[in-house]
Amino acid sequence: MRYPAVSGSFYPAQPANLQRMVDAFLAKAKKEVKPRKCISIIVPHAGYIYSGQTAAYSFAAAEEILKRPNTTAIFIGPNHTGLGNPISVSFDDWKTPIGTTSTDLPLAGAIIKSLSIITKNEGAHLMEHSIEVQLPFLQTINAKAKMVAICMGRQDGPTAKLVGEAIAKTIARPEFSDRNILLIASSDFTHYESGENARAHDAQPLEFIKALAADEFEQEVEASALSICGHGPIAAVIHASKLLGAKSASLLRYTNSGKETNGDESQVVAYASFVII
């Protein structure tokens, strides 16, 4: 069992309080976004007071997809801790204060067999928050949904492309045709700059995501030394989504930690939510 690492810090530890918070985020988001027939979503992963509402936009847009029977959410998040292997897949079930989500073991096993750099490893996930904070949203929308958690310690462009291609080819195999699968990339955007600078730095990457231009997105991150912490997961999900038939991405919300709290934008972390369709 993978037990919560950031319960009580990134989100409430008390089940009722956490459930109320998630319900409120989703209720507000559903008033502002329409359901989409999406292949994947991009969500932020900071503390809920900062990024929870933005994450809820993507989950609300994907709610009809996630509610379907036999759903598996494939989460791809960055590795902030340095633990584990370059691309680490968890085989554990994951617990939060409001429930437990089982790993789709046949799918997880097939993914690690699809590419040599993708391996089974729990250490990378032990203290990592980028996937954990998404689970209360999934558990609220569909308590029966399963998951596969993939932590990317190696995030360069070529690796992201290989990982995305491997995931797409795996889930397209006949034995997984009964699965209803949603890909979820976890990433925040510009870190610890002014809101004005964050908007300037993120403008071009946001446009590349809208165009599903994963290679150009990764080149911009590298050339401009951008602090988009989950750029590899974003690129991997774009590559996979295109192979699965995606044609475009829509930006649902872009904001930052200052706007979401006290209005001070002198030093912020930026957040974006997307659907890829």
**pLDDT tens by residue, 55-109:** 999 999 999 999 999 999 999 999 999 999 999 999 999 999 999 999 999 999 9
CA dist list (Å): 156 to 19, 136, 162, 222: 36, 29, 10, 9
DSSP 8-class letter at 41? E
Please name which of 6, 8, 12 lies closest in space to residue 132, comparing C-alpha atoms.
Answer: 6
Contact 111, 148 (CB under 8 A): yes
Q: What is the pLDDT of residue 245?
A: 97
Please name which of 72, 100, 75 lies closest in space to residue 3, comparing C-alpha atoms.
Answer: 100
Mean pLDDT of 3-25: 98
Q: What is the pLDDT of residue 24?
A: 98
Q: What is the pLDDT of residue 101?
A: 98
As a whole number, the mean pLDDT across the chain is 98
Please name which of 204, 241, 233 lies closest in space to residue 219, comparing C-alpha atoms.
Answer: 204
Helix (H), strand (E) at residue 267 = none
3-state secondary structure 137-197: HHHHHCCCCEEEEEEECCCCHHHHHHHHHHHHHHHCCHHHCCCEEEEEEECCCCEEECHHH
Coil, strand or helix at 66: helix
The model's pLDDT over 19-45, given as tens digits with 9 standing for 90+, comes to 999 999 999 999 999 999 999 999 999
Q: What is the pLDDT of residue 33?
A: 97
CA distance 223 to 217: 10
pLDDT band at 167 (very low <50, low <70, confident <90, very high): very high
CATH topology of domain 17-190+204-276: Protocatechuate 4,5-dioxygenase; Chain B (3.40.830)
The model's pLDDT over 112-140, given as tens digits with 9 standing for 90+, comes to 999 999 999 999 999 999 999 999 999 99
